[in-house]
Every structure is written in C-alpha cells, then in structure tokens.
Structure 1
Amino acid sequence: MKQTLKLVGSILLLKLSLIAPHSQALFFDYTETKHPIVLVPGIFGFDSIGGVFDYYHDVIYQLERSGAEVYMASSVTAVNSGEVHGLELSNWIQANIPPGEKVNLFAHSQGVQAARVAASLIPDRIASITSITGVNKGGIGGDFASTFIQEGNLIDQFGTAMGNFIDWLSGNEVGSADGYAGFYALTPEGNAELNVNHGWGVDQVNACGTGPEDVDVYGHNVKTFSWVGTSKITNNFDPSDVLFGLTGLLFPGEHDGLVPRCSQLMGNVIYDDMKMNHMDAANQALGFTSIWLDPIYLYRGHANRLKRRGL
C-alpha cells in the first residue's frame, strides 16, 4: 500500500511539473517580492511593439503568476545617454509607483546605467538594482568603437533615426532619440564619466573587479546584483546568433556578443558565467533563447532571492 501511494504521488508531481513550466517551486507566492519589480530595457529598447513583441518576452507573466507585482518601464527613449535614461526612469517611477513605495529594478544592457542614475536621483525609492548582462564599464571593442562614434556622422544619424523609429513603433514620444549619446554611453570613456557620480556597485579601480551587494546611496541602502553572460551562439533558430557569432569572431575574449564579461560585473555577482548571449538574457527573440539555460528560470529564481532578503 505504501509503495502504491508513493507511485501515485510521484505521478501527480510529474503531471504538475508538466503543466507548470519554469517553476522552481509549486507555490503561488514564490516570486512575491515585498517591493514591485520594474523591468528596464537597454539601448534601442521599448516596452512593447504592437502589443505582440515585448522587450522582455514572457517575463512579466512568468513572474506575476506566482505573486510578483511587475511593471515595464515605458516612456524611456530608445537611444540616449545613461543620464537622460536615468532621469526618464526616475520620472516614470514617481509617476507610476505609489508614493513612498520602493522598487526592485531589473535592468538589461545599457538599462543598468539608467537604473544607477535613477538611484542617484531618487535613492529613497530604489530597493535593489540587478544588472542583467549590463554595460557597467563599456562594450566590446572599446577603442575600435570610439573611433567610429562621432557626433553628426552617419553612425550618429542612423542611431537617432532608428531610435525615433522604435519610439514611434512602441508609442513613445518621437524626437528625443540621440544616436551619438547612446553609442558614446557604451564606450569605456562614456562609462567612466557616468560612473564618477553613478558607479553604485561598480568597482572603478580593478578592471575585472566588482563592488559590494549593499551600497549606501546618499544615506539609503540599495542592494546591487549582476548576471553575467559569456556565450555568443546559443540557439540555431535565433537569428540574433548570426550577429553575435560575427562579433565573437571580430572581438575574441569572454563576452556575450556585445558586452565583455568584466564589464558586466556589479555588486553581488549571482551568475558569473551564464551560457547565454546578450539577447538571451532578456528572453529575446520571442523566446528563442539559449538551449543550455532558460532565462525564465533565472528571473523567477532571482525574484525569490529578493523575497528571501525582504525586498
């Protein structure tokens, strides 16, 4: 009888695991953090295009289904400097999150610059910042990129036009995009300048060092975390892998196709060597992500980590 009950229990657990994909635990409050989670996009970012293509594909649903309160930061210009994005993000938080409520910022790529600037502007509203393959010290090919990033040239004009186009598609205000400012923000020089005043959790002395988890931002404690990706080609069905395969050939070394491993380090490094590329980390494109590691598992697990820390 006891063996029969064990068998029935095992079958029920198997069925539950099949109907609840991506779940690390079968609890309705697994991702129920104390403070809301705000997802912040990176360069050429958006919230949603046409209500079909979300920047963080399926992430909001997968977090909300077990208790999290999740927002996608909108009205953040597709391409501009970290300072401008940070001001836009802080304004969005104050306009959309109830007064006095703190938020946990999950920031992808250049979005982590906006998150750190927002922490400087409204430190009393930020509980934590998580850098998801974030640009904290510059993108790949820093010196090479700096040579081609000049104000007013074709690259600047292309970036501005593309930014305005993405803003138009996503329903944001058109006309605020600045290609030069956005691209310069990705260079080592641009990062160094921003980090002078907004380098929370970033080791500005050691090239491959990281800062503390707990950071004092003008008298307010803000916890900082980071996830680091180091793979380029992760899924043959993902068209973005073609780009990252090319950047991997042009720029050898440890990076996720766009950001060097050392640049991604910030605060408490939760995942030091994820087998995913830069777009995989935001569950793009449309979920055609790394065959080695499911991003949804990471997002849900990190929400539970924040919950256990009282955040």
Structure 2
Amino acid sequence: MKIKMYIHYAITLSSFILCTISNASGLIHVKSSQVNSDYAKTKYPIVMAHGFALGFSRIGTEKFGLDQFYQITPDLVRNGANVFVAQMSPVESTIVRGEQLLQQVDQVLALSGAQKVNLIGHSHGGPTVRYIEAVAPQKVASLTAVAGSMKGTPLSAGLTNSNFLSKAGKIVIGNLLAPAITILEGNPKLSINYEAAMYDLSEQGALAFNQKFPSAALPKDCNSNGVPRTENGIYHYSWIGSSKVTNVLDVLDTAIVATGVVLMPNEKNHDGLVPICSAKYGKVIRDNYNLNHFDEVNQVLGLKSVFAPDPISIFRQHANRLKLQGL
C-alpha cells in the first residue's frame, strides 16, 4: 500500500515538475475564433520577440490583458498565420535572452511540427533573434528586426555615464519595473541583470556581440545595406520609424521618447530610442515611417499620429511578404 502511495506521489510530483517546466518559458500561442483569409499564412510559424524594460509578451490574461504587439498578433492569426509570442527577461543580456528564446523556438518546432521559424524582434528583440541564427541557423527561415538595436544605442551611454542616472535607472528599471513586469506576466523567476542589459544595448556592447556573432546582414556603415539573404539561406529584413512625439495623449509614450531625445543630443535620426543607422539590417523595408519606438508595435493602446501608417497593416503586409518568399 505504501509502495503504491509512493509511486502515485512520484508520478504526481513528476507531472507537476513537467508542467512547471513546460510553462516556465511563458510562450504564448496566439489563437483566434475565426480566420478570414490566408493572406498572412506563412510556411513556417512566426515567433515574436519583445524588447527591453517595457517589453513583455502579455500582461494579464488572454481575455483581460495587454499584449506587447497590441492587436498585431491576433490580426496575423485572423489572416492565416501561425503565431507565437516568446517571453524573455525584460532586462538581461542579449545572450541570456537569446537562450530563453531558443528554448521557446524548440517548443514552437515541437508543437507545430515545422522545421524552421520566422523570427521577428522589436528593439532589444532584434539582436536577441540574431542570437538564434548564430547558434542554431538550421531552425531559422527568416529574421526581421523592427527598430532593432542591432548596433546599440547612445541612449545606453546617456543613462550609464551619469552617476545619478545610472543609480536612478537601476532602481527604477532594474529593481522596480522589470520585477513588476515579470510578476504581471506570471513568470517572476525570470532573471534580471540591469548592468548586462545596458552594456549589450550600448554601442560598445553591440559591437562586441556583432564581432562574436558576425553576419553579412549587418551593414558596414550607415550609408549601406546588409545582405538580404546570407549564405546559410536565411532571409533578413528590417524597418523603423523616424518620428518622436506623435500623440500628446499618449502620456507614457511621450514621456519616454522625450527622455530619449534629451539623452541623445547628438543623434538626429532616430525613433526616440534607437538610431536609424543601428536599426538597418538585411533588406530595409523602410527607415522613415511616421512612427516612434512604441508606435512601431502599436503601443500604447494604438495611440499614434493621425497621419501615421497602421502598424497592424505593416506587420500583416510583412507576413504576406514572407509567404510570397516561400517562408
């Protein structure tokens, strides 16, 4: 009787552990009650990767929550795409985030039965998806960087060179904001490393990362473009906006972007947080959308300039681009 009880306990405990591990990554498989077309139906699943600090997969629940790629992912699904949203540490090094993403890419491949994925990364998600190509290129069909900090941003130096801002940034972002996001995402065990994140987002840190993981998709300078399709057969795309304050009603967006403008006085061409030069990668779809860094993922809550293009439509068109490319 005791043996049966121990066996039952062991099976229950094993099941709990396996369940905990499978949910530890926080991977979201986006669903929709209806599919209206196959316009965005790519051959391979699409995996979205969020950025730094205010980057998250979903805060709250599916019914009562906020998605990072606001209204974008359900629209892709309604148009035939198979979409997953990865969950990485909001404040961590590129490699740690990359390893977290790699685990979820493997989950997507197992769940979908696909051999590859199309990775789309916003902001720090740009170099994060590049890490997957570096360590597991056989699992990648395409990489897309949306305002990706591919060569870093001077905003990082602006926050770390000042003793006051460095301490304040660590308290506000590293000790308060990042832990709060992990809790709201339901994954408080995600690691947080403010210093490592700020270094990797700096121009110096990005240079070190790119030297360790070189790619022909990275332009040599601001006046050139990267290779759209590298020798490993992977396609590379990018786009970025060039606007700053776009809607004064979007208080959070305006405050953060305005801070970025102040801390990057020598950088004129940027989306409020990331320089256009840094974001250029592979085939540049466009580098002057009337969007700022948060508008690019339709945040906050879709508020943007009345004259701005629809970010939802931009992502939908890109999925169709990948589809037509056979990806």
TM-score range for the pair, normalised by the shorter chain length: 0.7 to 0.9
Contact 2:154 2:203 in 1 (8 A): no
Work out the CA distance in 2 between the residues paired with 1:178 and 1:209: 34
The change in CA–CA distance for 1:194 and 1:149 in structure 2 (over 3 A counts) is farther
Work out the CA distance in 2 between the residues paired with 1:275 and 1:251: 19
RMSD over equivalenced CA pairs, Å: 2.2
Aligned partner (choices 31, 38, 49) of residue 40 of structure 1: 49
Q: CA deviation at 1:119?
A: 1.2
TM-score of the aligned structures, taking structure 1 as reference length: 0.84
Residue aligning to 1:310: 326
Q: CA deviation at 1:171?
A: 1.1
2:236 is aligned with 1:236:
no
Q: CA deviation at 1:163?
A: 1.6
Work out the CA distance in 1 between the residues paired with 2:173 and 2:221: 31
Residue aligning to 1:185: 200
Aligned partner (choices 134, 148, 151) of residue 120 of structure 1: 134
Q: CA deviation at 1:178?
A: 0.6
Contact 2:239 2:284 in 1 (8 A): yes
Residue aligning to 2:239: 227
Residue aligning to 1:198: 213
Residue type at the aligned position of 1:31: A
Contact 1:149 1:183 in 2 (8 A): no
Map of 1:133-152 to 2, 5 A cutoff? 133-141=147-155, 143-148=157-162
Kindly provide the CA deviation profile for residues 255-279 of structure 1, in whole angstroms up to 9, marking residues without a partner as x.
1000111011000000121110000
| Structure 2 residue ranges without an equivalent (≥5) | 1-34
Q: CA deviation at 1:199?
A: 3.8
Residue aligning to 1:210: 225
Contact 1:209 1:262 in 2 (8 A): no
Map of 1:16-95 to 2, 5 A cutoff? 28-44=37-53, 45-51=55-61, 52-74=65-87, 76-95=88-107
Residue 234 of structure 2 aligns to a residue in which SS? strand
Work out the CA distance in 2 between the residues paired with 1:229 and 1:289: 12
Kindly provide the CA deviation profile for residues 158-208 of structure 1, in whole angstroms up to 9, marking residues without a partner as x.
432222221111012435111111111111001001111234354363244
Kindly provide the CA deviation profile for residues 85-131 of structure 1, in whole angstroms up to 9, marking residues without a partner as x.
11110111112322552111111000011100011121111111110
Residue 269 of structure 1 aligns to a residue in which SS? strand
2:107 is aligned with 1:107:
no
| Structure 1 residue ranges without an equivalent (≥5) | 1-25
Give the paired residue count. 281
Q: CA deviation at 1:281?
A: 0.7
Kindly provide the CA deviation profile for residues 206-247 of structure 1, in whole angstroms up to 9, marking residues without a partner as x.
24433111123xxx3211100021100112321212332343
Q: CA deviation at 1:49?
A: 0.7
Contact 2:44 2:114 in 1 (8 A): no
2:309 is aligned with 1:293:
yes
Residue 132 of structure 2 aligns to a residue in which SS? helix
Contact 2:95 2:128 in 1 (8 A): yes
Residue 28 of structure 1 aligns to a residue in which SS? coil
Structure 1 residue runs of 4 or more that deviate by more than 6 Å after TM superposition:
none
Work out the CA distance in 1 between the residues paired with 2:248 and 2:168: 32
Work out the CA distance in 2 between the residues paired with 1:303 and 1:275: 21
Contact 1:157 1:179 in 2 (8 A): no
2:269 is aligned with 1:254:
yes
Residue type at the aligned position of 1:62: D
Contact 2:239 2:287 in 1 (8 A): yes
Residue aligning to 1:14: none
The change in CA–CA distance for 1:305 and 1:184 in structure 2 (over 3 A counts) is same
Residue 176 of structure 1 aligns to a residue in which SS? coil
2:186 is aligned with 1:174:
no
The change in CA–CA distance for 1:157 and 1:246 in structure 2 (over 3 A counts) is closer
